[in-house]
């Protein structure tokens, strides 16, 4: 069954993915390690929590009240003395756990005035939790620490902001100089030093840059499905990781107005991505939205021109062979080779449309983009055009043509893995067209294959024109009531579709007809004893008439079974 991404999930950029957590440096500020390098903390001694030295300090606070917990804030360097701690030494390990739960970056304590030493239980708990516990020298002043830490934080944030604007202008120049998504991801990848890609809202890769080996490795992780589609429905915004995926990746939505145009994704195997990387990606996403909108405007004009010409070709109004081939060459298409015409139509949508804060581009437009993206990677000179209700592709076949398997592979890639509220579609394939002047015939064959294939196999069908057989004729009978009457008159009680016994007998009849009434072979296929099948044949003849001796009746029965097989008719 073919599927198309419809409503990718929108994750909060403030939250990590399930099974992952934020890297320590995902917040703007100084790490505890860097904060300990400032002059005022040069004499501080680390008692515990070495594993937490990469925690981020955004602010510093002095606290000397007995109850300090209500005033603690996340990413804070808390400066205190033994005064708040002196009366509850037996509860200090619990205090450490509470401070860690509140997101404290580090605890710095000055002793001797009210408390001579910190209990071993407190030091052990801080070490277990990775909460840096610093012992301050008596001579240091809290105000010096406060001023120097805040200055360091502000300098770090100012530098990040300045870098962000420099990156923004560098990326914006890409678009102003006529560059597109390829140039944009190349610049972004160079700035970040990690692989970067841009995808559609449903995860189809539009452009990528970075180390080819790293990109290939990431494509084999659960972040991607087997068709190469990035699983946007499972990848919320922000920096995150998965248990079974090495490294980190950051995802930012590409939004213009309220329209979701896709994602920009950075992958890092050997370092944690942080807030500065996300900021660069956000700048790149803004510029990517400009590039996408510009490309959409150009594509809209080109698509109309291309669509009008291909419509003329498929209706036989485009001129002779040489004119068709020459004009297609000017459009970047090669139609002077063996082709099959492929028609793909979205199945009627009976499901509930997903809701999110963003609008998605029209489903038919996204369906067309999916086909163009997949076909563009397979053969850039293949014609792919989206019409109002269908996508038409002229798919080249090789010297040993197996068009059905080729189309099946393309459909698999367009479909993705069926996640994220995706829309199914049905596909029809024509016979091989060896002359552009025969494209109208191929187009009609493919359209017929779509219609009949959906009637035969339901939603998400893939049908080749040559496989339709007599269904092609039956599908052209518009009077559905006449077909139903024919089934009832021919099959009698056997036409009841809600009766398991009748369904079983119909299957027996079908196998008998398929084996040309070879009772021994039919018994083998049905796993019946020979005498059991002879009994069933007698029962069928009492219901239907002497079909074993009447070839005309056998033909009627075979046609009635085919009509019954066609969805929505029998």
Q: Block means of pLDDT (10 residues each) for the chain, length 570 residues?
A: 39 32 51 88 89 88 79 88 67 84 90 79 90 88 87 82 75 78 88 90 87 86 85 86 82 84 90 83 86 74 80 88 89 89 84 50 79 85 88 84 80 67 81 90 89 81 81 67 80 83 88 88 89 89 88 85 66
Place of tokens 């394939």: 429
Same domain, residue pair 219 and 241: yes
Q: Within a domain: residue 375?
A: yes
Same domain, residue pair 442 and 482: no
Phi, psi of 418 (to 5 degrees): 80, 15
Nearest Cα residue to 341 out of 382, 298, 290, 288: 382
Domain count, the chain: 4
Between strands 238-242 and 391-396, the pairing is unpaired
Place of tokens 């005033």: 71
Q: Within a domain: residue 22?
A: no
Nearest Cα residue to 207 out of 219, 217, 198, 215: 198
User: At 437, which CATH number?
Assistant: 3.30.70.270
pLDDT attached to residue 400: 66
pLDDT attached to residue 6: 37
pLDDT attached to residue 241: 81
Q: Within a domain: residue 10?
A: no
Boundary of a domain, candidates 411, 445, 473:
473
Q: Within a domain: residue 308?
A: no
Same domain, residue pair 343 and 426: yes
Boundary of a domain, candidates 473, 506, 524:
473
Same domain, residue pair 259 and 384: no
Q: Within a domain: residue 161?
A: no
Q: pTM for the complete prediction?
A: 0.53
524, 549 Cβ separation under 8 angstroms: no
User: At 525, which CATH number?
Assistant: 1.10.10.2840
Same domain, residue pair 343 and 455: yes
Look up the domain containing 462 and give its range.
318-349+358-473
Same domain, residue pair 331 and 447: yes
**Those residues with Cβ within 8 angstroms of residue 70's Cβ, 6 or more apart along the chain or in another chain:** none
Same domain, residue pair 34 and 146: yes
Same domain, residue pair 427 and 454: yes
Rounded to whole angstroms, the Cα distance separating 356 from 367 reads 19
pLDDT attached to residue 417: 55
Same domain, residue pair 379 and 447: yes
pLDDT attached to residue 28: 64
Nearest Cα residue to 413 out of 389, 378, 387: 378
pLDDT attached to residue 128: 92
pLDDT attached to residue 422: 62
DSSP type of residue 114: S
User: At 131, which CATH number?
Assistant: 3.40.1390.20
Same domain, residue pair 278 and 328: no
Q: Within a domain: residue 430?
A: yes
pLDDT attached to residue 46: 92
Count Cβ atoms below 10 Å from residue 343 Cβ, excluding itself. Answer: 26
Same domain, residue pair 466 and 519: no
Q: Within a domain: residue 309?
A: no
Angle among Cα 57, 63, 68 to the nearest 5 degrees reads 95
Boundary of a domain, candidates 404, 439, 473:
473
Q: Within a domain: residue 162?
A: no
Same domain, residue pair 248 and 386: no
pLDDT attached to residue 452: 82
């Amino acid at each position: 069954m073919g599927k198309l991404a419809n409503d990718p999930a929108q994750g909060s950029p403030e939250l990590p993915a399930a099974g992952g957590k934020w890297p320590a440096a995902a917040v703007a500020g100084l790490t505890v390690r860097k904060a300990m390098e400032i002059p005022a903390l040069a004499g501080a001694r680390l008692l515990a929590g070495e594993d937490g030295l990469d925690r981020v300090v955004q602010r510093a606070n002095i606290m000397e009240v007995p109850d300090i917990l209500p005033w603690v804030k996340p990413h804070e360097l808390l400066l205190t003395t033994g005064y708040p701690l002196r009366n509850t030494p037996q509860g200090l390990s619990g205090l450490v756990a509470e401070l860690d739960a509140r997101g404290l970056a580090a605890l710095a304590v000055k002793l001797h005035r009210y408390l001579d030493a910190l209990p071993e239980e407190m030091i052990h708990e801080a070490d277990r939790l990775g909460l840096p516990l610093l012992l301050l020298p008596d001579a240091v002043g809290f105000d010096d620490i406060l001023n120097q830490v805040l200055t360091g934080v502000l300098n770090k944030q100012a530098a990040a902001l300045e870098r962000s604007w420099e990156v923004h202008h560098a990326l914006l120049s890409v678009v102003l100089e006529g560059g597109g998504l390829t140039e944009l991801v190349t610049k972004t990848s160079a700035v970040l030093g990690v692989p970067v890609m841009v995808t559609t809202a449903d995860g189809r890769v539009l452009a990528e840059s970075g180390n080819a080996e790293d990109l290939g490795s990431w494509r084999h992780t659960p972040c991607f499905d087997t068709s190469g589609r990035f699983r946007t429905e499972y990848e919320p915004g922000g920096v995150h990781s998965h248990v079974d995926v090495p490294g980190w990746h950051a995802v930012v939505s590409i939004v213009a107005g309220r329209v979701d145009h896709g994602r920009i994704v950075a992958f890092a195997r050997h370092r944690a991505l942080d807030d500065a990387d996300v900021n660069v990606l956000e700048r790149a996403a803004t510029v990517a939205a400009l590039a996408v909108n510009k490309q959409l405007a150009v594509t809209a004009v080109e698509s109309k021109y291309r669509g009008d010409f291909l419509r003329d070709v498929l209706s036989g109004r485009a001129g002779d062979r040489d004119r068709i081939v020459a004009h297609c060459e000017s459009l970047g298409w090669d139609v002077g080779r063996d082709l099959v015409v492929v028609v793909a139509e979205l199945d009627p949508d009976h499901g509930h449309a997903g809701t999110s804060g963003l609008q998605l581009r029209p489903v038919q437009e996204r369906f067309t983009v999916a086909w163009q993206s997949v076909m563009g990677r397979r053969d850039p000179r293949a014609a792919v055009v989206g019409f109002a209700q269908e996508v038409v592709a002229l798919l080249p076949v090789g010297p040993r043509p197996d068009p059905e398997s080729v189309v099946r592979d393309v459909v698999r890639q367009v479909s993705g893995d069926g996640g994220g509220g995706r829309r199914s579609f049905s596909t029809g394939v024509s016979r091989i067209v060896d002359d552009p002047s025969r494209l109208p015939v191929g187009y009609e064959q493919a359209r017929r294959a779509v219609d009949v294939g959906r009637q035969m196999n339901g939603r998400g069908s893939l049908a080749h024109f040559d496989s339709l057989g007599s269904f092609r004729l039956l599908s052209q009978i518009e009077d559905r009531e006449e077909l139903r009457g024919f089934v009832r008159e021919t099959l009698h009680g056997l036409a009841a579709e809600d009766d398991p016994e009748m369904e079983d007998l119909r299957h027996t009849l079908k196998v008998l007809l398929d084996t040309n009434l070879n009772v021994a072979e039919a018994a083998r296929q049905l796993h019946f004893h020979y005498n059991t099948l002879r009994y069933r044949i007698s029962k069928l003849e009492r219901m239907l008439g002497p079909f074993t001796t009447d070839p005309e009746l056998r033909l009627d029965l075979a046609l009635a079974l085919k009509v019954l097989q066609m969805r929505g008719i029998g």
